[in-house]
Amino acid sequence: MPKKVHHVVRRTGTRLEDPIIEIPVAEDIAGVPGIPQIEKDVSFYSREYPLETQNIEKAADREWSWSVYTPEVFEYRELHEKANAPFVEAAATTGDIEPTVEPVGRDITEDIRRKSYELGFGDVGFTRYDRRYAFASKKRWVKFQGAICVALEQDYAQTQSLPSLEAEYAHFGTYETENEQCLALADFIRSFGYHAQVHSPNDNSAPFLPMFVEAGMGQLGANGQLLSPHFGSRARLAIITTDAPLTYDEPVDYGVHKFCQECLVCSDRCPARAITRDKVWYRGVEKNKLIYDRCRPVMSTYEGCAVCMKVCPIQRYGMKPVMDHWVEMGEVLGKGTDNLEGFSLREKGYFGPGELPSFDRSMFEFPKGTKDEWLFAQFKEKVEDGEGPTAEETSVFLKELKEILAKGTTTIGDE
């Protein structure tokens, strides 16, 4: 017997000329628009324990990850970094560029929306930039209050081959395209006489996802990714902030928050067992928490992994068919099938539903924290050993520490 529909979400398509899509949300998975959160807790953690980019606070493992890439991934990543660098560098100073014309003095939301689709973005939304999520190193960099959230779809076919080098081409190639499109969109906004600051997806000013949720462009999935009504977890996100007059969108309840608890395929299939099955309250938000130290080494070793992205039914089949099926049959479309849940890992083979790879404990022993924290941790081990450190080890330690401090930190890298 079909479930009772609580409400129907109507969204524009991924192109201006597309028809409206209608997504039914069953009564048993209806929740709140956006995400359950306790505002005062979000504010408290932001104030007392501000977030920092992983490119700084996880710099040790970010450097280490290059040592476990396959030669093919290593070579491609180098090419990507080189190709992407000019866009990321250009984005960093966009907030300083002055418009060359006087402000038009009207709301330009619809102009920006049209231009975003023309440039190739699959979805766009508008909200206030939520400074509570800004990284400590970026708080002063963010100049303007209006946030334009743009999502670019990652290639479908390549994504289904995850984990693979082919899928990495899609992942990083999408960022390259997105950076270029964002710079073009910022130029467009300036042509109306307003400022526009590009927040590159490879030099994030914050986790962008909460602002996309606030703009109604999807909800947080159990896999930690934005589940867009158009492309599920296959959305690559960027933000442009501006002082232009905008009309903000509202958060939407697509039913994702509760649906994910019925599904949990991403949690069940995660090769690293890094996604909690139960939701927890973390920094004022209710969510399935990713365990970074389990995810990171598997992700780095196996071509970006992202099995959690691949096996999400909303990514694979689309939100509408999945929600239609839930209403009509009370089942998670694809759950328990090889089509949705099967994946292969290099040198480990194929894993169908109910099967997972195992890893040696050594897989999860990797550098933690910032580079200097990791260096200190290793040095401390030598002190605690009782036999060291030797004079030579102490000298090496000081030399390496000086090098790390001299080199400084960077916010650039994928978040």
Partner 1 sequence: MFQKSDLDELFADLEKSHGATDDYDRLLKQAHLAIALFDARRPLDDQFDSIVLELVARHQPGA
Contact call for residue 317 and partner 1 (CB under 8 A): yes
CB of 156 to partner 1, least distance (A): 5
Contact call for residue 107 and partner 1 (CB under 8 A): no
Helices (H), 191-251: 209-214
> How many CB atoms sit inside 10 A of residue 100's CB?
8
Q: Check residue 216 and report its DSSP letter.
A: T
Contact call for residue 316 and partner 1 (CB under 8 A): yes
Structure-token match 């779809």, residue found: 153
CB of 234 to partner 1, least distance (A): 11
Which residues have C-beta within 8 Å of that of residue 415, sequence separation ≥ 6? 53, 54, 55, 201, 204, 207
Of 38, 85, 101, 329, the one binding partner 1 by CB under 8 A = 329
Contact call for residue 337 and partner 1 (CB under 8 A): yes
How far apart are the C-alpha atoms of 236 and 158, rounded to whole Å?
A: 14
Q: Which helix (H) or strand (E) holds 111?
A: helix 109-119
Going by DSSP bridges, is the β-strand pair 285-290/196-199 parallel, antiparallel, or unpaired? unpaired
Of 49, 74, 350, 364, the one binding partner 1 by CB under 8 A = 350
Using CB under 8 A as the binding criterion, the count of chain residues that bind partner 1 stands at 21
Contact call for residue 346 and partner 1 (CB under 8 A): no
**Residue 351's beta-bridge partner residues?**
343
Altogether, the residues listed in the chain come to a count of 415
Closest CB to partner 1 among residues 221, 318: 318
Q: Which helix (H) or strand (E) holds 40?
A: helix 39-48
Binding flags for partner 1, 165-184, as an x/- string (CB under 8 A): --------------------
Closest CB to partner 1 among residues 305, 314: 314
> How many CB atoms sit inside 10 A of residue 166's CB?
16
Contact call for residue 342 and partner 1 (CB under 8 A): yes
Binding flags for partner 1, 130-159, as an x/- string (CB under 8 A): -------------------------xxx--
CB of 109 to partner 1, least distance (A): 30
DSSP labels, 317-361:
H-HHHHHHHHHHHSS-TTTT-HHHH-EEETTTEEE-TT------G
Of 163, 216, 313, 367, the one binding partner 1 by CB under 8 A = 313
Of 70, 247, 339, 390, the one binding partner 1 by CB under 8 A = 339
Closest CB to partner 1 among residues 113, 230: 230
Contact footprint for partner 1 (CB under 8 A) = 155-157, 160, 313, 316-318, 321, 325, 329, 331, 333-334, 337-340, 342, 350, 352
